[in-house]
Structure 1
Amino acid sequence: MNSTAPNPSPKAPPPPEGDTLYAVRQKVYVRAVTGLFANWRWALVWFTQIVFYGLPWLQWNDRQAVLFHLTERKFYIFGWVFWPQDVFFLAILLIISAYALFFFTAIAGRLWCGYACPQTVYTEIFMWIEEKIEGDRNKRMKLDKAPMSPRKLGIKAAKYGAWGAVALWTGFTFVGYFSPMSELLASVATLGFGPWEMFWILFYGAFTYLFAGVMREQVCKYMCPYARFQAVMFDPDTLVITYDEGRGEPRGARRKGVDSATAGKGDCVDCGICVQVCPTGIDIRNGLQYECIGCAACIDACDQVMDKVGYPRGLIRYSTENAIKRGWGTKEIIGHVFRPRTLVYGTVLIAICVAFVWGLATRDPLRVDIIRDRASLGREVAGGMIENVYRLQVMNMTEVPRNFVFDVKGINGIQIAGDHRVAVEAAATQAVTLQVLVPYDAGKPGANEIVFEIHPEDDPSLKLFEKTTFLFPR
């Protein structure tokens, strides 16, 4: 009897390389670059940070110029005081921001990402600190590969300490927009911050450190939604950073001063500096990619290389898809900036901005909420009069104390019992109770419409009218 041994079960084939859900991060060592667009980026860094760090220290009318006081439920922005009832202004501001994003993206791509986004701004600041402490790109790479030593430990500690100081100061400043800066400063010596103040200082500071110092390009590549839906707002006439493949290929090294045609190559010398200066580590020569934040660092780098080898600038430049295909110059590109999409965005944006400014300019300096006292409905009182009681919440939306005068109309013989004046402090609210009297036979049973008239004693021409109802017993 013949017997055969069972065949061993075959081994499962190894999974294909690269078949993973997450790519292991390769640290990006960004090379410093100078040039026109680098200067613009740093100008925006200085502008945004002077505004951010400086505004909480400005004073206006003996108070903080910009303060979103959550405890008092009032927002102070220079001469304006906004109350919870003004939330529609915030909604309009958000709409303006959205349309501005659509408008500028349709014209010139990711301008926000490349120049003004907080992630870009703070990453620039943190990279500048890193370069000053650890050195240029080559020195940083060499330092990271070196074994741990007292020198390396000291350099890393100095860098992380500087990052931490900037991050904590950023968190402190952020909280200073919501709690008065004078109170925060008084709490520094004793660390007597409130629990929410301490939480937000540490929370905002920690995420500033994490995003700008540690994660950097990971935020733009994997966390920011704008990178994913930017293509919806692009069209063939949108200005984007492009590599002129027709001029640059075939790329390759050559001696300085050698003409491209003589060398049988394009203008790209394949130096790789455009990749080294990219904060997200992409190669712009591979075409437009969602990781590109539009910072134009590669343009500055490439222009400098072109100057050194004696070739014209603009191998990498701001251009459009149509311009590259059809060989358009600057004049044709500018002519296609004003196209139906941008005209619609621009018109809507201007209209909303005008409405927003008009709303602020014509905003009433007085607001009154009227509630009838339901505990004492219409009742008969001495003298054959019917009385209704009203509770009024008077909001003085100016920053000067004012006396307000009340009057009421709508029914013959209607009057306010007692004093009909109230003093309200600057940017404050004051509750007042008014007894309104009407002759017994002056109205029909049930609800009758009446109108309260309120005006400042020092400016009778400024009047506010509020409708309500007066109840007669049936």
Structure 2
Amino acid sequence: MKNPPPIEGALYASEAKIYARAASGRYASLRRYAAVALLAIYYLLPWLQWDGRPAVLLDLPSRRFHLLSVTLFPQDLFLLAVLLVVAAMTLFLFTTLAGRLWCGYACPQTVWTEAFMWMERLAEGERHQRQKLDQGRWTAKKIARKSAKHAMWAGFALLTGLTFVAYFIPARELLHQVVQGSLAGWPLFWALFYGFATWGNAGFMREQVCKYMCPYARFQSAMFDRDTLIVAYDERRGEPRKTGARLTDRPAGDCIDCTLCVQVCPTGIDIRKGLQYECIACAACVDACDSVMDRVGKPRGLVRYTSERHTQTGTARVLRPRLMGYALVWALVLAGFSSLLLTRSPLGLDVLRDRRQLYRELADGRIANLYTLKIANKSDDAVDLHIEALRADGQLLELSETQVRVAASSTESLVVGALLPAQQARGVQKIRFVLSGVNAPELRQTHDASFIGASQ
């Protein structure tokens, strides 16, 4: 057997640059409105004030997260875990129902890419002008246009990085440091790092982030079923295309093979080849095709939001077992998170027993154990608290400290000695520390501990 001929050509081909054409239509307008709204929230939220402090502030040095009227401490990190589960279930639910709505309208990569592409068109023109500019030689005009584009990109990226840092440092304080040129090392590093990441992802990598870096495109099929909403091309109505019909002498379908659906696609795919993982469901191809159908006098919907079942049978089914299952789990997790948040105590109590010495025997025969009480006040007001310790039978233990004042949104450590008569302090027994508000009885927190006495 002869050896097969060698394969000529390089094993690696550079990614072809995509020159996405600007789309116009109802979905393009919706996408732009969503981008403007989300960008406004991102850039303006650090400047909002709530009770004299930033409405949203992740204060890492003080280990406090301020979210409107709620202040979260490290002890509340379980709420963040539950919130992440809520976010995941929300994504699963809406993906099963309506496909990749997140990718097409709300993903940060999509939103910032939309902004960068607008600045690119402003500096370099529309699709054919950008292609001609890149293919032409370097002239003063080309240098000026490229410089204007990158200046806008760099300024917007730097603003994005500084805004990111403003979620960790109060925005007004950060602005003062920037104006004075006194921005410290780490804030400056993260502002530049996040700004550079935005500049690279939204300016250069764009569709490559969606195609190669984002894991969501890879596992989305696990959440799709035959009734999930997708962007699809009606092959039965569109084929054969106009150019193909000329070659086969068959009646042409509605597709005139203008390729506008390909030209407006931000990931450079041809939706007429079927559903592809690169498709982010932005519906730019829907707007482009609808505009062409209007011009040639054909009904809209050759490319449209539909489902596999509706394409094949003409019927649609919204309620189905998978969707109802996701909705049930999502509702339960959301209800659990809401319950945890609403019933969250403004007090946190952690009790650490002194392990260096099991117990101390005093001169009067009493047995003493030492404890460190870490008390977190999660409210915006200072509180006066009363401390008690009880045995399982309800008997109160004598404590060395029974009162403590904890400042607003702070944590206080207090060493407390608990005492029992020697005849009652035998072996290991459970006790319970109880915190209660001196002037606010509704404030209450408990924590169990062990009291160790002399052996039997």
State the distance in 1 between where 2:338 and 2:163 align. Answer: 28
Structure 1 residue 463 corresponds to structure 2 residue 444: yes
Q: 2:262·2:269 contact (CA, 8 Å) conserved in 1?
A: yes
Match of 2:360 among 379, 386, 398: 379
> Deviation of residue 244 (structure 1)?
0.5
Pick which of 154-163 and 262-271 moved more: 262-271
Partner of 1:45: 35
Partner of 1:67: 57
Structure 1 residue 292 corresponds to structure 2 residue 279: yes
Match of 1:36 among 8, 11, 26: 26
State the distance in 2 between where 1:45 and 1:458 align. Answer: 49
Q: 1:37·1:295 contact (CA, 8 Å) conserved in 2?
A: yes
Match of 1:311 among 298, 302, 326: 298
Partner of 1:196: 186
Q: 1:414 to 1:227 in 2, by over 3 A?
A: closer
Partner of 1:232: 222
> Deviation of residue 179 (structure 1)?
2.5
Q: Deviations over 1:57-105 (max 9, x none)?
A: 1111221111111111221111111111222111111212222222111
Q: Deviations over 1:187-245 (max 9, x none)?
A: 21343333222221111111111111111111112222222222222222211111111
Give the letter aligned to residue 15 of structure 1. Answer: I
Partner of 1:301: 288
Q: 1:414 to 1:289 in 2, by over 3 A?
A: closer
Partner of 1:320: 307
Structure 2: gaps (5+ residues): none
Q: Secondary structure at the match of 1:242?
A: strand
TM-score scaled by structure 1? 0.90
State the distance in 1 between where 2:163 and 2:428 align. Answer: 54
Give the letter aligned to residue 78 of structure 1. Answer: L
Structure 1 residue 432 corresponds to structure 2 residue 414: yes
Give the letter aligned to residue 303 of structure 1. Answer: D
Partner of 2:168: 178
Q: 1:133 to 1:412 in 2, by over 3 A?
A: closer
Q: 1:263 to 1:448 in 2, by over 3 A?
A: closer
TM-score scaled by structure 2? 0.93
Structure 1 residue 151 corresponds to structure 2 residue 138: no
Q: 1:201 to 1:405 in 2, by over 3 A?
A: same
Q: Secondary structure at the match of 1:179?
A: coil
Structure 1 residue 448 corresponds to structure 2 residue 429: yes
Structure 1 residue 15 corresponds to structure 2 residue 2: no
Q: Deviations over 1:232-274 (max 9, x none)?
A: 22222211111111111111179xxxxxxx9921111111111
Match of 1:115 among 105, 118, 125: 105
State the distance in 2 between where 1:304 and 1:135 align. Answer: 21
Q: 1:171·1:201 contact (CA, 8 Å) conserved in 2?
A: yes
Give the letter aligned to residue 237 of structure 2. Answer: R
State the distance in 2 between where 1:361 and 1:453 align. Answer: 21
Pick which of 379-388 and 296-305 moved more: 379-388
Q: 1:240·1:294 contact (CA, 8 Å) conserved in 2?
A: yes
Q: 2:349·2:446 contact (CA, 8 Å) conserved in 1?
A: no
Partner of 1:4: none
> Deviation of residue 140 (structure 1)?
1.5
Partner of 2:251: 264
Partner of 1:416: 398
Q: 1:414·1:437 contact (CA, 8 Å) conserved in 2?
A: no
Q: Deviations over 1:89-146 (max 9, x none)?
A: 1111121222222211112221111111111111100000111121111221222222
Q: 2:233·2:302 contact (CA, 8 Å) conserved in 1?
A: yes
Q: Secondary structure at the match of 1:355?
A: helix
Match of 2:330 among 341, 345, 349: 349
Structure 1: gaps (5+ residues): 1-9, 255-261
> Deviation of residue 381 (structure 1)?
2.4
Q: 1:253·1:271 contact (CA, 8 Å) conserved in 2?
A: no
> Deviation of residue 413 (structure 1)?
6.5
Pick which of 415-424 and 113-122 moved more: 415-424
Give the letter aligned to residue 227 of structure 1. Answer: A
Q: Secondary structure at the match of 1:312?
A: coil
